[in-house]
């Protein structure tokens, strides 16, 4: 019921709309699928003693499945959108923990701030690079598709 309340307004829940319930079911199934990929990747990373976390392995596996055609983007879009939309809720425990350690922040706050700023910049650079590379790949694939269509039309 908590997931339903997070996804839909109360009026929609009580209206009993089949479309709304179908959307909730799709979001729940896709989120469960994403969690399943993460769990399997985390298990593999721990079992194989990989030097990267299971979440990174899971993202790479999901990316390979999406690019390889093993998973259609529409199969995970609604669940991923819901998870990204409510991501702020996942950071509340970290904020509460930060409030509990006020002395640590008074003593080493500048170091922590430096790490946070540097880490944020690194993430921004990595995301910008990844988006640029994905955009280039998308343009190349589109150009290849157009050229194939032109070649097929001439033949």
pLDDT band at 3 (very low <50, low <70, confident <90, very high): very low
In the chain, domain spans: 1-89, 101-155
Residue 106 exposure: Cα atoms within 13 Å on the Cβ side: 5
d(CA 143, CA 145) in angstroms, rounded, equals: 5
Judged against a pLDDT cut of 70, whether residue 14 lies above it is answered with no
**CA torsion angle 79 85 90 92 (round to 10):** -160
pLDDT on residue 1: 40
Q: Is 27 exposed, middle or buried (0-12, 13-18, 19+ CB in 10 A)?
A: buried
Q: Write the DSSP symbol of residue 1.
A: -
Q: Write the DSSP symbol of residue 73.
A: G
pLDDT on residue 70: 87
Extract the tokens encoding 58: 């899971």
Judged against a pLDDT cut of 90, whether residue 23 lies above it is answered with no
Mean pLDDT to the nearest integer, 129-151: 92
pLDDT digits (tens, 9 = 90+) for 88-139: 776 666 667 767 777 777 888 888 889 889 998 999 999 999 999 999 999 9
Q: State the alpha helices, DSSP H only, in the chain.
A: 2-7, 10-15, 18-47, 54-68, 77-85, 87-90, 92-100, 102-154
pLDDT digits (tens, 9 = 90+) for 41-100: 999 999 999 888 888 898 899 889 888 888 888 888 888 888 888 777 766 666 677 677
Q: Which residues of 89-111 are buried (b: 16+ CB within 10 A; e: fewer)?
A: eeeeeeeeeeeeeeeeeeeeeee
Judged against a pLDDT cut of 70, whether residue 13 lies above it is answered with no
d(CA 134, CA 66) in angstroms, rounded, equals: 12
d(CA 13, CA 6) in angstroms, rounded, equals: 11
pLDDT on residue 12: 47
pLDDT on residue 2: 44
């Amino acid at each position: 019921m908590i997931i339903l309340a997070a996804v839909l307004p109360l009026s929609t829940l009580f209206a009993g709309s089949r479309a709304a319930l179908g959307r909730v079911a799709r979001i729940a199934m896709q989120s469960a699928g994403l969690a399943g990929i993460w769990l399997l990747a985390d298990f593999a990373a721990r079992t194989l003693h990989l030097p990267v976390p299971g979440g990174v392995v899971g993202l790479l596996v999901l990316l390979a499945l999406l690019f390889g055609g093993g998973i259609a983007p529409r199969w995970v879009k609604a669940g991923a959108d819901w998870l990204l939309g409510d991501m702020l809720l996942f950071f509340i425990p970290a904020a509460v923990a930060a409030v509990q350690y006020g002395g640590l922040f008074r003593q080493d706050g500048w170091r922590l701030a430096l790490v946070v700023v540097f880490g944020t910049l690194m993430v921004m650079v990595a995301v910008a690079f990844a988006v640029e590379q994905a955009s280039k790949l998308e343009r190349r694939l589109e150009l290849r598709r157009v050229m194939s269509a032109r070649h097929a039309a001439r033949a």
